[in-house]
Chains A and B, each alone.
Chain A
Amino acid sequence: MSELRNIIVPLITVFGVIIIAMSMAAGLIWLERRLLALWQDRYGPNRVGPFGLLQVLADLIKIISKEDWVPPFADAAVFVVAPAAMFIPVLLTFAVISYTPGIAVTDLNIGLLFFLAMSSLTVYGVVLAGWASDSKYSLLGGMRAAAQMLSYEVFMSLSLMGVVMLAGSFDLRQIVEAQRGLWYVVPQFPGMLIFLTAGVAETRRLPFDLPEAEGELVAGFHAEYSGMKFALFFIEEYLGITLVSVLISVLFFGGWLGPLLPPLAWLAIKTMFFISLFILLRATFPRPRYDQLMSFGWKVMLPLALTNLVVTGGIILAAR
């Protein structure tokens, strides 16, 4: 009996996490359109089903029934692999997050490093999609994505090292446990801001959506994609938002910790708050110029992240 339990419980956790993450991503498409409409004083999708909730289903039927087209001038093999190469690392990262004291797919002692490794692998999907499409807009989008994500990854990892030093572990469960007394947003406030900025850039969301930039590059790296391949890029973006929001909650806002409500509810509330913040950012900010984006990253955020690291290390050393 217990052997059967040992097999079934992990299976339920694995598929539960995948199904919830995927339906979150699908639901976010609706939520984003409704929230944007609310903030921009219009209705948004409100015809299909209650509050327009079935709009997602309608979109899905439409996108599945579209022709799945590979341009004749494209590098067919890479063109097909690129959306999956982008999608899989994001989905894999959900495995190392600990959702409650009991629910986690795996307790990796290098959990945070695993997230960084996977997030650096997502770059390939964008870059290869841009290259394989063999169109100048896609290539420009792919090159922008490579430079942008590589630059912002540098201080994304640096901003997390403050948390690692305070908790003394890369394990996400131990990082949450270490926040029982005080959430890390208080001692690591600059780190939180830097990680949030880098997270927006890593998911290529407005104001950092220059790889897509529909005003100048048509649709950037995925201009040549259609049907389910395009849908994979689309869902990946929302999975990325969910992932960064969960990580901010876990790393800086105590994860599942909180009074009265069950642990999973606290994590869900915190995550939803940051997802809404992501959407609010899109509704508020204009897109910067590309050189502004790069010089902001290297000249403002990187020195800030390094200063934060040095100050945190100094305080920890002095307190010893």
Chain B
Amino acid sequence: MGAIFYISAAVAVAATVGVITRYNAVHALLYLIVSLLAISLIFYILGAPLAAALEAIIYAGAIMVLFIFVIMILNLGPQAVRRERSWLKPRMWVGPAALALILAGELVYLLESGPAGAQAGTASVGPEPVGATLFGPYLLGVELASLLLLAGLVGAFHLGRRETGEETAGEQEIQTGVAKAEGAAVEEPGAALGGE
């Protein structure tokens, strides 16, 4: 088990480095997916199969697909790669590297100062205890989180909704599309204020 842990940890670190250093946005996202899957494997080794499955389903399987979807729609070409390359100069590495070094120093200190918190290889926690805990002592937290998501959903609906006059047939829309776009740009601040 120890060997598998170190291999997947190394994969996670290498993939994360790949995320930062790639110039092409889609390649960076692919590295991020690999990193998330490696972390999911680490969760599984540490005895949290439910967290591992959720990491793969939600992060790697749902959120990252949306990211890739959006970047595909943007359709970034070679010029975007060139722009990224001009932004990512060696000078840019100083700040993040210093912060990461502080974190690494803290990690080494904690590891040196003896066993802290949970250790690897403890008992595996199945789905049932997790569910019982979430909907027992932490019920209020779960409900608050769902309220937050609902608020996000309503907000996204408000931003993505068509204006009332626009739900007519497609042909009309094309003819008056320009006028509508201008009208919408004028109406937007008022609508947003009204919403608040």
Interface residues, chain A, CB within 8 Å of chain B? 75, 77-78, 108-110, 113-114, 116-117, 120-121, 123-124, 127-128, 130-131, 139, 142-143, 146-147, 150, 153, 157, 168, 170
Min C-beta distance of A175 to chain B, whole Å: 13
User: B50 to chain A: which residues have CB within 8 Å?
Assistant: 110, 113
User: Mask for B1-33, Cβ within 8 A of A = 1, else 0?
Assistant: 000000000000000000000001011001001
Q: Which of B59-86 contact A (CB under 8 A)?
A: 60-62, 65-66, 68-69, 72-73, 75
Partner of B72, one of A116, A139, A170: A139
* A143 touching B61, Cβ below 8 Å: no
Min C-beta distance of A145 to chain B, whole Å: 10
User: A109 to chain B: which residues have CB within 8 Å?
Assistant: 49, 126-127
* A110 touching B127, Cβ below 8 Å: yes
Is B134 close to A, CB under 8 A?
A: no
User: A147 to chain B: which residues have CB within 8 Å?
Assistant: 69
Min C-beta distance of A76 to chain B, whole Å: 12
Q: Please judge, given known A-B contacts A124-B68, A131-B26, whether A117 and B49 are in contact too, CB under 8 Å.
A: no
User: B127 to chain A: which residues have CB within 8 Å?
Assistant: 109-110, 113, 170
* B69 touching A116, Cβ below 8 Å: no
Q: Give the distance in Å from the alpha carbon of A302 to the alpha carbon of B103 in the complex.
A: 44
Min C-beta distance of B17 to chain A, whole Å: 17
What are 25 residue pairs bridging A and B, where the CB atoms are less than 8 Å apart in the complex? A75-B26, A78-B27, A78-B30, A108-B49, A110-B50, A110-B52, A113-B50, A117-B56, A117-B61, A120-B57, A120-B60, A121-B60, A121-B61, A124-B33, A124-B68, A128-B68, A130-B72, A142-B72, A146-B65, A150-B62, A150-B65, A150-B66, A153-B61, A157-B57, A168-B128
Q: Give the distance in Å from the alpha carbon of A156 to the alpha carbon of B149 in the complex.
A: 21
Min C-beta distance of A126 to chain B, whole Å: 10
Q: Give the distance in Å from the alpha carbon of A139 to the alpha carbon of B72 in the complex.
A: 8
* B72 touching A114, Cβ below 8 Å: no
User: A131 to chain B: which residues have CB within 8 Å?
Assistant: 26, 68, 72
* A116 touching B65, Cβ below 8 Å: no
Q: Give the distance in Å from the alpha carbon of A144 to the alpha carbon of B50 in the complex.
A: 30
Partner of B65, one of A78, A108, A124, A157: A124
Min C-beta distance of B58 to chain A, whole Å: 9
Partner of B26, one of A78, A113, A123: A78
| Nearest 6 Cβ contacts at the A-B interface | A120-B61, A113-B53, A117-B56, A146-B69, A110-B49, A117-B57
Interface of A, secondary structure class, is helix
Q: Give the distance in Å from the alpha carbon of A139 to the alpha carbon of B73 in the complex.
A: 9
Name which residue of chain B comes closest to A136, CB basis: B75
User: Mask for B115-129, Cβ within 8 A of A = 1, else 0?
Assistant: 000000000001110
Q: Give the distance in Å from the alpha carbon of A170 to the alpha carbon of B126 in the complex.
A: 10
User: A113 to chain B: which residues have CB within 8 Å?
Assistant: 50, 53-54, 57, 127
* A121 touching B56, Cβ below 8 Å: yes
* B62 touching A110, Cβ below 8 Å: no
Q: Give the distance in Å from the alpha carbon of A130 to the alpha carbon of B30 in the complex.
A: 15
Q: Please judge, given known A-B contacts A78-B30, A109-B127, whether A123 and B61 are in contact too, CB under 8 Å.
A: yes
User: Mask for B72-116, Cβ within 8 A of A = 1, else 0?
Assistant: 110100000000000000000000000000000000000000000
* A146 touching B60, Cβ below 8 Å: no
User: B53 to chain A: which residues have CB within 8 Å?
Assistant: 110, 113-114, 116-117
Q: Give the distance in Å from the alpha carbon of A98 to the alpha carbon of B68 in the complex.
A: 34
User: A117 to chain B: which residues have CB within 8 Å?
Assistant: 53, 56-57, 60-61
* B62 touching A120, Cβ below 8 Å: yes
* B69 touching A143, Cβ below 8 Å: yes
* B56 touching A143, Cβ below 8 Å: no
Given contact pairs A127-B72, A143-B72, A153-B61, enumerate 13 new A-B contacts (beta carbons under 8 Å).
A75-B24, A113-B53, A113-B57, A114-B53, A116-B57, A120-B57, A131-B72, A143-B69, A143-B73, A146-B68, A150-B66, A150-B69, A157-B57
Q: Give the distance in Å from the alpha carbon of A116 to the alpha carbon of B62 in the complex.
A: 11
User: B126 to chain A: which residues have CB within 8 Å?
Assistant: 109
* B33 touching A146, Cβ below 8 Å: no
Greatest chain B CB density within 10 A among A75, A121, A142 is at A121
* A146 touching B72, Cβ below 8 Å: yes
Q: Give the distance in Å from the alpha carbon of A311 to the alpha carbon of B72 in the complex.
A: 40
Name which residue of chain A comes closest to B44, CB basis: A110
Q: Give the distance in Å from the alpha carbon of A127 to the alpha carbon of B68 in the complex.
A: 8
User: A120 to chain B: which residues have CB within 8 Å?
Assistant: 56-57, 60-62, 65
Name which residue of chain A comes closest to B66, CB basis: A150
Q: Give the distance in Å from the alpha carbon of A48 to the alpha carbon of B62 in the complex.
A: 45
Q: Give the distance in Å from the alpha carbon of A314 to the alpha carbon of B56 in the complex.
A: 30
